[in-house]
Amino acid sequence: MILPRDFPKIIWIHTILIMVIGLAALYSASFNNVRVQHDVFTDQLWCAFLGLGIMAVLASGDYRKFYDFAYIIYGFSLLFLVLVLLVGHQALGATRWFSLGGFSFQPSEFSKLAVILFLGRYLSERRPKLSFNLSGSLRRVWDDLIFPLGVVGFTILLIFKQPDLGTAILIFGIFIVMVYASGISHRIFLVFIGLVLACVPLAWHFLKSYQRDRLTVFLNPNHDPTGAGYTITQSKIAIGSGQLLGKGWLAGTQSQLNFLPERHTDFIFSVIGEEWGLFGAIFLIYCYAMIIYCGFTIAYHNKDRFGQLVTIGIVTILAMQVVINVGMVIGLCPVVGITLPLISYGRTSFIVFTIMLGFLLNLSRKRMIF
C-alpha cells in the first residue's frame, strides 16, 4: 500500500526516471544522424537540470500564489498567442514559435498551464445555486459552462489558427474534465457533450488538407503509404521489430538508418519501443501511471478547491498526452502532433511540465485529509 507521505518521493523518483529514459532516447535519435542535430540532446539535458530545480523551488513554496496571478497569467498567454501569429517563426507550415537570439518559445505549451490555472480559479469561486427556477437555471448554465467556454475558446481558436490541432484538442479536453470535476449539473453536462459530438462531423470542413490526410490514413492505414502514411508505417515497423527486449541502445535500425521521421519529437516512443522492446515501453508507461495515480489521489483528498481543480487539470493533461502520443505512434489514434511529456524534444514543453509537477509536489505535502 502506498502511503500519503510517500507521494513526494514517488513523484520525484518516477519523474527522474522518465527524464533519464527520455535523454537516452533523444541521444540515440540524434546519434550520428544528419537529420537531427545532436544539440537537441544537450538542450534537453540543460532543461532537465533547470526543470528539477524548478520542481524543488515550487515544492517548497506556496502554491496559492498561482491563485493570485491566475487571471494575469492567462491574459499573458493570450497575448503571446496573438503575437506568435503576427511575428512568430514559421516552420513546416505552422507558426508556433518565437525565436530570440537562438532561443525558441512555444506559447501554446504555456497556454496549457495558463488554461488550467484560469479554470482552477474561476471554477473554484463558483458555488452551487439554490434556485432551480428557469432564470436561475439559465444563469447557472451561463456561469458554469458558457462563460468559461467562451474565455477558453479564445485560446483554442488562436492555437487552431497556427495551426496546431493536437494542442487545441488537449485544451478542450482539459476544459471538459475540469468543468465536470467542478460539480456542474449532470444534465447540463450531458447536453453539452451531446452537442459537441453532434458538431464533430462539421469540423472536417475546417481542417487543413494534411490534417484530413492524417485522419484518412488512420481510418485506412494503406492509404498513401509513401506519403501521409509513411511515418506511422515506419513507426509500427520500429516498435514491432523491438519485440520483447529490444535491439539495444543505439542499435535501432529504423531510427539510426533515417527511416523514421520526427523520431526526436512526436515519434520518440517508437525509438524506445525499438531499442528497449515491449518491457522498456511498459516500464515507461508504468512511470507515468505512478505519477498520474499520485496526482488523482492528491486531488481526491485535497481540502482546497483551487488546488484540487488545478491538480485534476495537471493530471488530465499528462494522462491525455501520454495516451494520445502512445496511441498515435502505434496506430490506435490519428496523428495530431502530440508530444510525449518529458521525453520528446521541446524546451517550452519540458519546462511547463516540470512546473506542473512542482505544483503536484507542493500539494502532496499539505492540505490533504487521509
Task: Name the residue among 334, 311, 95, 37 with its Cα closest to residue 214.
Answer: 334
Mean pLDDT across the stretch 26-49? 81
Percent of the chain with pLDDT over 70: 87
Mean pLDDT check: name the lowest of 5-9, 173-177, 238-242, 363-367: 363-367
Residue with cell 475546417: 206
DSSP one-letter code for 146: I
Q: Is the pLDDT of residue 136 over 70?
A: no
Q: Which three cell numbers stand for residue 44?
A: 534537453
The residues facing 99 across adjacent strands are: 104
| Res. 57 pLDDT band, cuts 50 70 90 | very high
What is the edge-to-edge ordering of all strands in the sheet holding 103-105?
A: 89-91, 94-100, 103-105
Residue 14 carries which side chain, given as an amino acid letter?
H
Residue 342 carries which side chain, given as an amino acid letter?
L
Q: Tell me: the pLDDT tens digits for 243-256?
A: 888 888 888 888 77
- Whole-number pLDDT of residue 258: 76
The Cα–Cα gap between 85 and 96 comes to 8
DSSP per-residue string spanning 15-59: HHHHHHHHHHHHHHHHTT-SSS-THHHHHHHHHHHHHHHHHHHHH
Q: How crowded is residue 151: how many other Cβ atoms within 10 Å of its Cβ?
A: 17
